[in-house]
Chain A
């Protein structure tokens, strides 16, 4: 393989600087004792203290995490069942049709998902708030889990199932002792992606959340519309830390199980 010469290296460095500047800029000013994101006065942790003292913000943070964990858990369960249903479908045309339906929510713009779910919840009478947000997050995470699990299932040799059946395994045994262990990396990847999709979602939540319930993204949006508050900066410092730990953890897990990083998040 040819070596990189100076100019391409410089180009990559510039791209990296541009990609990371906004993030480090936010974190840098989170330590500013002055009020804004210019003129660094002196070093302080007061904005971090403000994050932890703000009970409203803490509640929103907990809401966000609860919604993310619950939606990831439920969507992983339904997604795995969905992937199994697709794989066991014998009609090829039917399978392709279901796959296309599956992918609709992945490519749909969030505005469409948000608006249509808003209509749906209003029609069937789901109160806007925690329930509607959770259901929406489950709904838009399911296709991602399916996409992550399906390749693993397709990789699996049918002879494994035959062997298990020949050796006297029941259908339940085949599922829990043969299929599930085999597709575990896909399930983990799906769960992780569902988690991050939920944590990061703004547009869908913005549509289906009522007055009383808010997630972090929606809260940051309304705070940012009001202007610059360094509490947001402190929050982003904390989020950056957690994200890096999560990503490195995911990287370690996926390297161990040899599944390449196959999805990005918005």
Chain B
């Protein structure tokens, strides 16, 4: 591919023409928005240049918010991984694995809002989960508007996105390696720990990347399911932009969210290019 355009594109005047739309897109919708966010983070409500937003961010309110947002994102990512890894592993062992994988992915194509809305009914005071708890003898519980429901629904939403990259890396794994490990006397656990896990780590990393970053910025689920009990960085940005109309503070939080995003990407970036981009979650 290196010199594919060698002959066709050595016509210099033609080159800019077809690169214009894409270049314009990069300038206008990738670089400018980030620049604008950074620019706005230095202005207060009255439009005066200030560092107050940054000072505010390091006040206890926002630090607590950041820490709790990270804590929830951590919990969500952890549980998603715990459920997704075995699922992906068992999926690779099924007969029609591509079909099963498709079946796992279909729910992720259903509008996110609808799935979240379903949980309002499922977890409601008169919903089936509470009816079940009643018959078991535990009695009615407030499930909706708790931390538990927030983490549960988020894990539910993110699971297919974690399964996919892990499935792909497991699928690429050479089965001869597992046989070799067995032949050399390793038991199942050792085989998993020393052979399978290290070889699928890239898939796990990209799974973590596509779950952790969106989990930091969820705001719709916090509003509908957690009933404003949980505030994430995303909720705070939405609040500042659309409710209090304080774009400066909202931008400052956004700047930090972008920073966290880059740090997470650096940590989870894998050497294997093919698995880094698997999709994103809204």
Q: Do A and B come from one complex?
A: yes
A232 to B119, CA, bound (A): 13
B21 interface residue (CB < 8 Å to A): yes
In the complex, which of the residues A15, A201, A239, A260 contacts B282, with contact meaning CB atoms closer than 8 Å? A201
CB-based contact B110/A240 at 8 Å: yes
A20 to B5, CA, bound (A): 48
Contacts of B156 in A (CB 8 A): 18-19, 22
In the complex, which of the residues A89, A123, A263 contacts B36, with contact meaning CB atoms closer than 8 Å? A123
A89 to B113, CA, bound (A): 41
Contacts of A78 in B (CB 8 A): 21-22, 25
CB-based contact A101/B118 at 8 Å: no
Contact (A158, B111) CB under 8 Å given A106-B280, A119-B247, A264-B161: no
A118 interface residue (CB < 8 Å to B): yes
Closest to A103 in B: B277
A224 to B261, CA, bound (A): 30
CB-based contact A200/B111 at 8 Å: yes
B91 interface residue (CB < 8 Å to A): yes
B150 interface residue (CB < 8 Å to A): no
CB-based contact B34/A243 at 8 Å: no
Contact (A81, B115) CB under 8 Å given A201-B282, A225-B224, A243-B110: no
Closest to B18 in A: A81
CB-based contact A174/B109 at 8 Å: no
In the complex, which of the residues A2, A84, A111, A161 contacts B93, with contact meaning CB atoms closer than 8 Å? A2
In the complex, which of the residues B115, B131, B261 contacts A109, with contact meaning CB atoms closer than 8 Å? B261
Judged by DSSP, the binding face of A is helix
A59 interface residue (CB < 8 Å to B): no
Chain B interface residue count, Cβ-Cβ cutoff 8 angstroms: 100
CB-based contact B254/A115 at 8 Å: yes
Which residues 1-35 of A sit at the B interface, judged by CB distance below 8 A? 1-4, 8-9, 11-12, 15-16, 18-23, 25-26, 29
CB-based contact A264/B107 at 8 Å: no
Query: How many Å from the CB of A10 to the closest CB on chain B?
Result: 10
A102 interface residue (CB < 8 Å to B): yes
Closest to A201 in B: B282
CB-based contact A22/B4 at 8 Å: no
A167 interface residue (CB < 8 Å to B): no
CB-based contact A112/B217 at 8 Å: yes
Contact with B along A101-142 (1 / 0, CB 8 A): 111111111111101111110010000000000000001001
Contacts of B209 in A (CB 8 A): 107
Which of B90, B164, B280 has the most CB atoms of chain A within a 10 A radius of its CB?
B280
Query: How many Å from the CB of A104 to the closest CB on chain B?
Result: 5
Which residues 168-190 of A sit at the B interface, judged by CB distance below 8 A? 171, 174
Contacts of B4 in A (CB 8 A): 87-88, 153, 156, 158, 161
Closest to B159 in A: A19
In the complex, which of the residues A12, A107, A116, A139 contacts B280, with contact meaning CB atoms closer than 8 Å? A107
Which residues 142-159 of A sit at the B interface, judged by CB distance below 8 A? 142, 146-147, 153-156, 158
Contact (A207, B242) CB under 8 Å given A23-B118, A119-B247: yes
Contacts of B261 in A (CB 8 A): 107-109, 112
Closest to A21 in B: B122
A37 interface residue (CB < 8 Å to B): yes
Which residues 221-236 of A sit at the B interface, judged by CB distance below 8 A? 221, 224-225, 228, 232, 235-236
Query: How many Å from the CB of B125 to the closest CB on chain A?
Result: 9
List B residues at the A interface (Cβ < 8 Å): 1-9, 11, 14-15, 18-19, 21-23, 25-26, 28-34, 36-37, 40, 83, 86-87, 90-91, 93-94, 98, 100-122, 124, 126-128, 131, 156, 159-161, 164, 175, 209, 213-214, 216-217, 219-220, 223-224, 233-234, 237-238, 241-242, 247, 250-251, 254, 257-258, 261, 265, 277-282
Knowing that A120-B36, A264-B279 are A-B contacts, what are 9 other residue pairs whose CB atoms are under 8 Å apart, sorted by A's residue number? A81-B18, A90-B5, A98-B26, A109-B214, A120-B32, A123-B36, A165-B8, A217-B112, A224-B224
List A residues at the B interface (Cβ < 8 Å): 1-4, 8-9, 11-12, 15-16, 18-23, 25-26, 29, 36-39, 77-79, 81-82, 84-85, 87-90, 98, 101-113, 115-120, 123, 139, 142, 146-147, 153-156, 158, 161-162, 165, 171, 174, 196, 199-204, 206-207, 216-217, 220-221, 224-225, 228, 232, 235-236, 239-240, 243-244, 246-247, 251, 260-266
A–B complex contacts, Cβ < 8 Å, 29 sampled: A8-B93, A12-B100, A23-B118, A38-B131, A78-B21, A81-B21, A82-B22, A85-B22, A87-B4, A88-B9, A102-B26, A105-B30, A107-B213, A111-B233, A112-B217, A113-B33, A115-B237, A115-B241, A116-B37, A119-B37, A142-B25, A154-B1, A196-B109, A202-B220, A207-B241, A220-B117, A236-B117, A246-B109, A261-B105
**Which 4 A-B pairs give the minimum distances between C-beta atoms?**
A88-B5, A37-B121, A116-B33, A82-B22
